[in-house]
Structure 1
Amino acid sequence: MTVLRDYAASVIQPALGQSAALYDEVASPDGTLRNAWKRLAAEAVDLTLPELTRVGDEIARLLADEGAVYTPPGGAQRSWRLDPVPLVIAAEEWATLEKGLAQRAELLNAVSLDLYGPQELLSSGTLPPSIVFGHSGFLRVVARASADHRRQLVVTGTDLGRTPTGEWQVIADRTQAPSGIGFAMENRRVLSRVLPVAYREAGLHRLAPFFQALRASLTQAAPHGRENPRIVVLSPGPTSETAYDQAFIATALGFPLVEGSDLVARDGSIWMRVLGRLERVDVVLRRVDAEWSDPLELRGESQLGVTGLTEAVRRGTVTVVNGLGSGVLENAAMLPFMSAMCERLLDEPLRLAGVPTVWAGTREGRDQLLDRLDELVVRRIDAPFEVAGLSRAELVAAITAEPHRYVGQEVAAVSVSPTLDRGRLQPHAVTLRAFTLRHGSSYRPMIGGLATVAPVGTSPDEISTSKDVWVLKESPEEPDQGLLDTAPVAHARAPLTPVPRVLDDLFWLGRYAERVEDLLRLAIVTHELAEDFQGRPRSSGGQTLAVVARLLRSLSPSSHDSVDFEGDLRSMLLDAHRSGSVAQTVARLKEIAQSVRDQVSPDLFRVFGAMDRARGALAANPHGWQIGESAGRMLTDILALHGVTGNMVRDEGWHLMEIGRGIERSLQLCHLIGPTLSVRRGIDVDRNVHNAVLQAAESAITHRRRHRGVVRGASVLDLLLLDESNPRSLLFNLRAIDASLATLPGSSGSTRPERLVDDLLEELDRLDVAALMAIDGENRPNFVRFAQATAQQLMRLSDAVAEVHFATGPTPRSLAFATVGAGS
């Protein structure tokens, strides 16, 4: 029997205990598959447990290669998780849910317009004023009569669960900055790759048309019907909980992913900083919570927002999606009043009921909440929501002091769905986040969504395992997402210039990528020497090993014993806390790549996935040979990264990345040749050291071909410093830097970076290799001075590039100059 049919048959067994009373998404009460699953092809239904496990492993690998990550609140970043068993919903079930979702979005939009407009809900008593004015999401600064009223909700999220009878129930509304659309699309992309036949034959609604509709809706949201509007995605930054989701949307829609420091207010409008100019911004897809969006008028200590954004919104020069102040609609205290508000504003009954909720703002509600304190989930109406840290007495005192700030909710009813957990299918509680888009003059739900699962009895907030949502079509001819075509969008070529912050990140992306490559090459050389000579320290090879290992430790200081070469190399490859290690540098490289995800190819993250697997193999294998094997695989992977970036458009970002790479390669060359070639150690040792240097600089074959195997210090320096055809030489890289600098806006031929490069090139033009190799005792003082001076000049060049091409004005500072006391 296949694993899903076996699971379905098991639901009638008493062993399921607690989950037996819950609605099961796959199995009917009689132990057969539900109709939606019966319609799927055999490839989806007849999977065996080994096949399903293999699919789960493949999913994990693909998600790692995509760099899909999530940071749970208060936790550490971790890989996004996707279960191989999708949540399948039949067409007739979805049709009923779709009507409820569209109505709910329309209702929330009407409530928003009323609360920031005539406030008839408050004056009529339909909604108690303390629910609104006592909630931090209600922003009085945008509720002025003079403010522009383009406040429609463009995107909403609705968290849903099924009751035991199979009816959908609203758990929460997400209107502030609904997250998860990007994750939903990522889930679909991955599952369609690991289950291609099942996906192809299932007859599902594709998600791509929803993204096209989203793009059209954001374009149409531009103020005053501006043609070819500039749209940006405003992110809190790469450390945000849903940074991947934000970057995915920006990439999919083709909009710049910006942070608050990338935008500036001028003359009542919002502008984006680009090299040498400002570009007008018309629409901001906001992923920063409203209270943090403007340090001038909202939260003064915020460094995430844009000073002056609120005034621009009031003037109607920019549209913020969703509008500032939309967070008040997430207020759980509104749930008991949704039906009455629907009757008043839409003149129709509410289609989707919410979780039964008691608001303590009335005497009856407070008494009921206090009487049922042990059976209800108590929450504050706004952040911080949780009250778990309070004792019963403290909670009673808090509710009594400010009853309008608390609600009690019955435990949300949710269904269960089979989930691969510890090698077998187990019933996990599942919730669905559905998304609804204002498209044209009405609201259209995404036919699909993002499902989240957690073991029954645990909090979904603690688990981030997700499911793809498969909504079956009623007929094959039905258009995807019910959209025959999206509204036409005027075609215009958008400028490619990234903001200075992104240019800075790309510059360091180039530097760190080169640094990893050079460290790995040196590690491989060290390992090869250690394999042969660590037991013969007095031999010429052993002395060479000591020189190279000492150099490696200078680049990445180590606490390992000087003769523990294997332990030292393992540490450098695996220890992310070791200063300058490969692991630490790769971690920084991945952070930067996440922050510029909208600028780079997804292939870049497959490189990181492969590097992680190579490190994992080393961590799992104690044998010494695995060090060289893993280092070699990681080197191959980082070289693939260079190939990926080689396919980027040759814009300012690419040129700055190449400048960063050239500076780092030149610096690493100085670090390599400075300590190794500045001392005479004897003929045999010198020859071995020279060969090690050539190998670490990826120039051994070239040198061998040109000099027929005869290795001398002068010939090594000539190849590594002055050979204009050698991509590893200092001269080659300085000329490449000079050429890229000339392409950048603001470069005039006389800027400081260009002058510094000219000085370096002139120094090389005057360089006498024989004079560099002159001996004074055992040392070469001329060479030492040259290597040190060149490294210092390269560091000055790096700083000058930052000053000229990345400067965006002063760093945002908190406007909260004093702490306000509790009684103020």
Structure 2
Amino acid sequence: MENSRPNPSPVTSRLREYRPPIGYDEAVGPDGLLRPGWHPLFEHLDEQGIQRVEALRQQARQLLLENGITYNLFQNETEGARSWDLDLLPLILVEEEWLKLERGLKQRHRVLELLLEDLYGHQGVIRAGVVPGPLIFGASGYLRACHGLPRPKGSPLPWWAADLTRDPSGNFLVIGDHLHSPTGNGYALENRQILFRLLRQPLNENHVRLLLPFFTALRNHLNDASPLPKEDPRTVLLTPGPEDKLYFEHAFLANYLGLTLVQGEDLTVRNGRVHLKTLDGLHPVDVVLRMLQDRLCDPLELDETSFLGVAGLIQAIAGQKVAVLNHPGAAILENPSLLAYYPEICHHFLGEESLLPVLPTWWCGDPDSLAQVLADPEPLLIRAIAQPGQPARTLTPDPNCPVRQALLARPQEFIAQVPVRPSTLPVLTPEGFRPGHLVLRTFSTAGLSDTEVMPGGLARVIFDPGPVNTLNGHADITKDVWVLSPDPVARSNRLPLDRLSEPSFFTGEISSRMAENLFWMGRYAERSENVPRLLRVLLLLPRPEGDEVRETGERAALRVLYRALTTITATEPGFIGEGAEERLLDPEEELLALIRAPERLGSVSSSIQSLILAAHRVRERLSNDTWRVIIQVRGLRQRLAGEKSSADMVGEMERLITTLAALAGLGQENMTRGLGWRFLELGRRLERAIFVVSLLHATLIEALPPEGERLLLEALLNVGDSSITYRRRYRTHMAIKPFLELILLDEANPRGLASQLALIEEHVLALPRHAAMPGHRTATGRIVLEAFNALRLSDPDLLALVGDEGKRSNLIDLLDRLKNLLPLLSVELANAFFQHSSSHALRGVSR
């Protein structure tokens, strides 16, 4: 293939080898030359050279990984989330072509708005025979409970997405609509932000239009929809939760648009209004931007089996106390059967011809259409309406064809479509340019007076769509979409501060579910760090000696430390119980299992996995830097699964400890001192306090010979990262009394118990409570006060005293008391703040 450049550089030399299949190619015309708009990009790549371009491609993948861009968190329990993939080459559309497409998209958006209002209102399209009644009333997407609901102010469809492809002539065709939760615009924005970092020069020089106006318009349209006139309506984004494959986008959009991310359990309906359950009570909500399927929104009216929705939501809509967007019932417009009637629908509502053609479609429930489909000599593709993601099947003239038999038995369940080969475009790979098939997802938002189409969208590329043209499956890779403008455009990634200049209603307020997840994120982060600290010490200590050697003090200390590991991690039998002696003689296998066995609760791998899941549940609360550390922790967990010796694991433990210390530091330095930060810190401090108490209880209640006690205390100081402080302060041999003063009683030691209790007390006293109730008289406050007083009143001389039975009875009494009080504090915090009831915060803290 010839290229338009007379002396091609290595990059465009590879393009000469590009061989797109027969059909329309986005980058290369039938004459073998680059299409308009593509030359400047390839000139820039030529200047960079192949090695630099390959480095940029790898950098894009690394940025996606660091930003945690995923679309299926729970696809693989070992690998975690499946990463998003982005090609360095964008899809390029020139201004003239885009303006034509934009007009068609705006027209279609308006038609769908009118159709939605009509189907849940007068139903004029059915009365006029434009759309068959059985197509609507027999479809699962039609919600009778939503008929007659008042429409929100502005538009009932403030946002909409359409999937497009091209026919061999290069004309765009609509192949599907997305309305109940139009996904992909967050990913499109993230793709653009990454390419802006890597290809800033060609982006600027080509005057690529910004995506920002679309998101500005969407935010304003959400404000317009509020049933009550407010400058800054209370708006939340309703997500199914972290288990949803698109949860990353939900969290990303909530952050970018300044919305509060909620799940159904965070909301409740009281007196006909939707309220958010926060730590200091209920707060009314004006607008709900839903990412939830229609039928799951309200278990009272729509689907009684749904645990994701809000009971009474339809009632609140009917009372015009809340706007839910897109309007419930919008999923009926996703029915692909409507593609068959779209030209008539457009003419019915607007009196205009459709500007944007659709994929030729027939609904087989119509007898005339079925007869035409069965008589057509050309093979058609048959799709099940209720299973849009399933591959289409080919209808053949053979009377025994299973597809033909299914059509005759249940025609209303199928549509027929003309096969179309999607257009192709080059994808950059290490081996060169590979052709991929394009599906373009476009986005549009409508409000009181205007409709804004995202200039571009999300390009999904499928390398092998198959002979039956499966367009609805997962994309192999995505691309940014560049719409070229003839004029320069101002560069900005921030929403304007006009209507959003005042502080958000939810500033400083978090739901009870969010507080709980932050609390457990703190606990799991600390647990993931504490056990590796103990394991690192054990991996570096000499192994216990064989039975033929006398029981020395050092050997006794080693036994105590190994048994403490089993006690703290609760992974019995471990080094306790049957077979413990054999494992003590050769502990490596058990130690490695405690590190990398994900199925063993209490293992390092299990704790890290719990940390990662908790972090995903609070994704919108974490900064990009914090999230990058979480991604690093996930990578370290994957490294632990490899075959490594105990010596190798020492390095892995040190890397893990350092990374988790960075996570803790980011929480201290980068997180706003609100209630979310306090619950994160409460979880971390409580877990560290429990660890210190459990470790000392498992190691110090019985006295050892002097040489064993010395080894034991040195090991415990190393676990608590306090060895340097001890030697600098006491300048003496190891002794139990100064050890207890430093680890138990010194409030200035950040890894000591007293420091944890002081911080816990500070955070507990700052939690919401009745104004007339002193903090120390709340249920949580009393527990902290009792624990802290017990510690402060302790005498280190008495704690270190060894009784007649060789045990430190005073130390035992103190640690036993703390072992009971600290877990009880966690229970009381849950009762007071994590029960998700309508008034749990006030009821719990006043008990």
Deviations 1:789-813 (Å, cap 9, x if unpaired)? Answer: 31221000000011112222299xx
1:417 aligns to 2:437 (yes or no)? no
Pairing 1:757–2:765 present: no
> Which residue pairs with 2:315 in the alignment?
311
Asked if the contact 1:94/1:471 (under 8 Å) is kept, the reply is no
Asked if 1:742 corresponds to 2:770, the answer is no
Q: 1:104 to 1:193 in 2, by over 3 A?
A: same
| Aligned match for 1:437, one of 412, 421, 445 | 445
Native 8 Å contact 2:557 2:704 kept in 1: no
Number of residue equivalences: 806
Q: 1:152 to 1:45 in 2, by over 3 A?
A: farther
Whole-angstrom CA distance in 1 between matches of 2:504 and 2:74: 39
Q: How does 1:172-321 map to 2 (within 5 A)?
A: 172-321=176-325
Report how far residue 695 of structure 1 moved: 1.0
Alignment of 1:119-518 (within 5 A): 119-144=123-148, 152-370=156-374, 375-383=379-387, 386=390, 396=404, 398-421=406-429, 423-458=431-466, 459=470, 462-478=473-489, 488=499, 491-494=502-505, 495-518=507-530
2: CA distance between counterparts of 1:240 and 1:699?
43
Letter in 1 for 2:248: Y
Return the alpha-carbon distance in structure 1 between the equivalents of residues 547 and 379 of structure 2. Answer: 70
Whether the 8 Å contact between 1:430 and 1:452 is mirrored in structure 2 is yes
Q: TM-score, normalised by structure 1?
A: 0.91
- Alignment of 1:800 onto 2:828: yes
User: Contact 2:154–2:224 (CA<8 Å) still a contact in 1?
Assistant: no
Give the match's secondary structure for 1:39. helix
Asked if structure 2 preserves the Cα contact closer than 8 Å seen for 1:134 and 1:405, the reply is: no
CA distance in structure 2 between the aligned counterparts of 1:553 and 1:2, rounded to whole angstroms: 63
1:729 aligns with 2:737: no
Partner of 1:78: 82
Is contact 1:213–1:487 with CA below 8 Å preserved after alignment? no
Contact 1:83/1:465 (CA < 8 Å) preserved in 2? Answer: no
Cα 1:705/1:389, change in 2 over 3 Å: farther
2:537 maps to 1:525: yes
> For 1:84-103, what aligned pairs fall within 5 Å after superposition?
84-103=88-107
- Of residues 15, 33, 43, the one that matches 1:8 is 15
Task: Tell me how far 1:671 sits from its aligned partner.
Answer: 2.0
User: Whole-Å Cα distance in 2 between the matches of residues 284 and 338 of structure 1?
Assistant: 29
Say if 2:44 is the partner of 1:43: yes
* Cα displacement string for residues 401-449 of structure 1 (whole angstroms, at most 9, x for unaligned residues): 4322211223343122222457543211121111001144122110121
Structure 2 CA distance, aligned partners of 1:293 and 1:152?
16
The residue aligned with 1:766 is: 793
The answer to whether the 8 A contact 1:157-1:175 is kept is yes
Kindly state the Cα deviation for residue 462 of structure 1 after the two structures are TM-superposed.
4.9
Instruction: Name the structure 1 match of 2:579.
Output: none
Aligned to 2:664: 642
Q: Is the 8 A contact 1:113 1:151 kept in 2?
A: no
The one-letter amino acid paired with 1:731 is: A
Give, in whole Å, the separation in 1 of the partners of 2:404 and 2:434. Answer: 38
Distance 1:381 1:526 in 2: 61
**Residue 598 of structure 1 corresponds to which residue in structure 2?**
620
SS of the aligned residue for 2:21 comes to helix
Tell me the TM-score normalised to structure 2 length.
0.88
Q: Secondary structure at the match of 2:37?
A: helix
Q: Distance in 1 between matches of 2:821 and 2:402?
A: 63
Matched residue, 2:845: none
Q: Which amino acid aligns with 2:756?
A: N
Classify the secondary structure of the residue corresponding to 1:733. Answer: helix
Segment drifting more, 600-609 vs 64-73: 64-73
**Aligned counterpart, 2:562:** 549
- Encode CA deviations 1:444-497: one digit per residue, 9 max, x unaligned: 110121111121235455544443323243224356799998974573542321
Give the residue type in structure 2 aligned to 1:467: T
Displacement of 1:49: 4.7
Amino acid at match of 1:759: E
State whether residues 434 and 449 of structure 1, in contact with CA within 8 Å, keep that contact through their aligned partners in structure 2.
yes
Judge which range, 55-64 or 116-125, deviates more.
Answer: 55-64
Whether contact under 8 Å (2:566, 2:572) holds in the other structure is yes
| Helix, strand or coil at the partner of 1:70 | coil
CA deviation vs aligned residue, 1:309-339 (integer Å, no higher than 9, x gap):
0011112111111000100110100001111
Is residue 2:25 matched to residue 1:24? Answer: yes
* Deviates further, 325-334 or 57-66: 57-66
Q: Distance in 2 between matches of 1:343 and 1:582?
A: 64
Determine helix, strand or coil for the equivalent of 2:754.
helix
Instruction: State the AA in 2 paired with 1:174.
Output: H
CA shift for structure 1 position 659: 1.4
SS of the residue corresponding to residue 434 of structure 1 reads strand
The whole-number CA distance in structure 1 between the counterparts of 2:130 and 2:191 is: 41
In structure 1, give the amino acid aligned to 2:16: A
Between 746-755 and 384-393, report the one with greater CA deviation. 384-393
Alignment CA distance shift 1:359-1:673 (3 Å): same
Q: Write the letter of the residue equivalent to 1:578.
A: R
Q: Which residue of 2 aligns with 1:788?
A: 816
Name 1:817's counterpart in structure 2.
none
1:741-785 per-residue CA deviation (whole Å, 9 max, x = no partner) reads 111111632111101111111211332333333244444344334
Task: Tell me how far apart the structure 1 counterparts of residues 645 and 150 of structure 2 sit (CA, whole Å).
Answer: 73
Question: Which one is further off, 202-211 or 541-550?
Answer: 541-550
Q: CA deviation at 1:236?
A: 0.4
Q: Following the alignment from structure 1 to structure 2, what is the Cα–Cα distance between the partners of residues 787 and 283?
A: 51
Partners of 2:734 and 2:493 in 1: how far apart?
72
| 1:683-702 CA-partner distances (Å, limit 9, x unpaired) | 22221111111111121111
SS at match of 1:288: coil
Alignment of 1:576-591 (within 5 A): 576-591=598-613
What is the aligned partner in structure 2 of residue 821 from structure 1? none
Which residues of 2 match residues 109-128 of structure 1 at below 5 A?
109-128=113-132
Q: What is the SS of the residue equivalent to 2:164? A: strand
Partner secondary structure for residue 443 of structure 2: strand
Deviation of residue 682 (structure 1)? 2.1
Asked if the contact 1:8–1:31 (Cα under 8 Å) also holds between the matched residues in 2, the reply is no
Q: Partner of 1:85: helix, strand, or coil?
A: coil
- Quote the residue 1:574 is aligned against: 596
Gaps of 5+ in 1: 13-18, 812-824
Confirm or deny: 8 A CA contact 2:14 2:432 kept in the other structure: no
Residues 669-688 of structure 1 aligned to structure 2 (within 5 Å): 669-688=692-711
Q: Once the two structures are aligned, what percentage of the paired residues are identical? A: 31
Cα distance change of structure 1 residues 530 and 60 upon mapping to structure 2, 3 Å threshold:
farther
CA change 1:373–1:530 in 2 (3 A) is: farther
1:733 and 1:73 map into 2 onto residues whose CA distance is 34
Structure 2 match to 1:56:
57
How far did residue 539 of structure 1 move? 7.4
Distance change (3 Å), C-alpha of 1:507 and 1:799 = same
Q: Deviations over 1:75-133 (max 9, x none)?
A: 77412222222222222221221111111111111111111222111111111111111
Could you say if the C-alpha distance between residues 709 and 484 of structure 1 is closer, same or farther in structure 2, counting changes exceeding 3 Å? closer
Q: Which region of structure 1 is more displaced relative to structure 2, 561-570 or 755-764?
A: 561-570
How far does the alpha carbon of each residue in 1:600-635 deviate from its partner, in whole angstroms, 9 at most, with x for none? 212111002222344455556746543222222221
Partner Cα separation in structure 2 for residue 536 and residue 431 of structure 1 = 73
Q: How far apart are the structure 1 equivalents of 2:592 and 2:209? A: 49
